[in-house]
Amino acid sequence: MRLDDPKLKKIEPPRLSLADRFFLPQVAAGLLVTGKHILDVLIKDTAITVQYPEVQHVPSPVYRGVHRLNKDEEGRPKCVACMLCATACPAHCIDIVGATAPESWPDREKYPESFVIDELRCIYCGMCEEACPVEAIELTGLYDLTGLSREEMIFDKTKLLSVFDVTRDAEPMKFTTPPPAGTGPTQALESPVS
């Protein structure tokens, strides 16, 4: 299209007032919203933040955090090394090596000799939990596990089983108030999980 085409419609940019040039209406609107929230917190106590870590945050019952490998009544991993979770995982962060179950375990053919999840690669979608036919893998409410290296965030079988040990009674889905100070999952995890 040519610039002198008569069909071309020229639009003049709007003239900004001094207030518009300094974004004063937008700043005032933002301050109004902030002021409303301050008044709501002061008058109606609607604060949704907590003084973490002094006050423990209680995640939603459907929150998906760090995984755990569940144990059965005899303390054995429930996992039967069927690989369904690894197959379903869209992030390809589960690595399992299955082995023939010991003869003293007549209820299954295989067990996971090695079970590793890369918690940094995981997208916490919950597909592994959905896929597992024996409820051996679950996502817990733990949200604040950290590590100083990638290696620390690659959880092996021992680590995943230790997450079960410290979360079996402290699952967010099982309580609606914060766990007592010093007994939350994170504190308990500091020793078994590096």
Q: What are phi and psi of 191, to 5 degrees?
A: -85, -50
Report the residue from 63, 105, 116, 126 that binds ligand SF4 according to the rule CB under 6 A. 126
Residue 128 binding ligand SF4, by CB under 6 A: yes
Place of tokens 């197959």: 87
Three-class secondary structure of residue 155 per DSSP: strand
Beta carbon of residue 185, minimum distance to ligand SF4 (angstroms, whole number): 18
Instruction: State the residue for tokens 């023939």.
Output: 100
What's the gap between Cα 32 and its chain centre?
34
- Return the range that interacts with ligand SF4 (CB under 6 A); candidates 41-49, 84-92, 145-153, 169-177: 84-92
Q: Which CB sits closer to ligand SF4, 79 or 161?
A: 79
Q: Does 91 bind ligand SF4 (CB under 6 A)?
A: yes
Torsion, Cα 31 37 39 42, to 10 degrees, reads -140
Work out whether 84 is an interface residue with ligand SF4 (CB under 6 A).
yes
Tell me how many residues contact ligand SF4 (CB under 6 A).
27
The Cα 131–Cα 145 span in angstroms is 25
x/- mask, ligand SF4, residues 30-69, rule CB under 6 A, reads ----------------------------------------
Choose among 109, 87, 85: nearest CA to 98.
109
101 binds ligand SF4 (CB under 6 A): no
Q: Which of 65, 68, 94, 157 binds ligand SF4 (CB under 6 A)?
A: 94
What contacts 109, CB < 8 A, 6 or more positions away? Answer: 80, 100, 101
DSSP secondary structure code for residue 16 in this structure:
P
Interacting stretch for ligand SF4, rule CB under 6 A, among 30-38, 54-62, 133-141, 146-154?
A: 133-141
Question: Beta 94-100 vs 110-118: how paired, if at all?
Answer: antiparallel
Site of interaction with ligand SF4 (CB under 6 A): 79-85, 88-91, 93-94, 96, 117, 122-128, 131-132, 134, 136-137
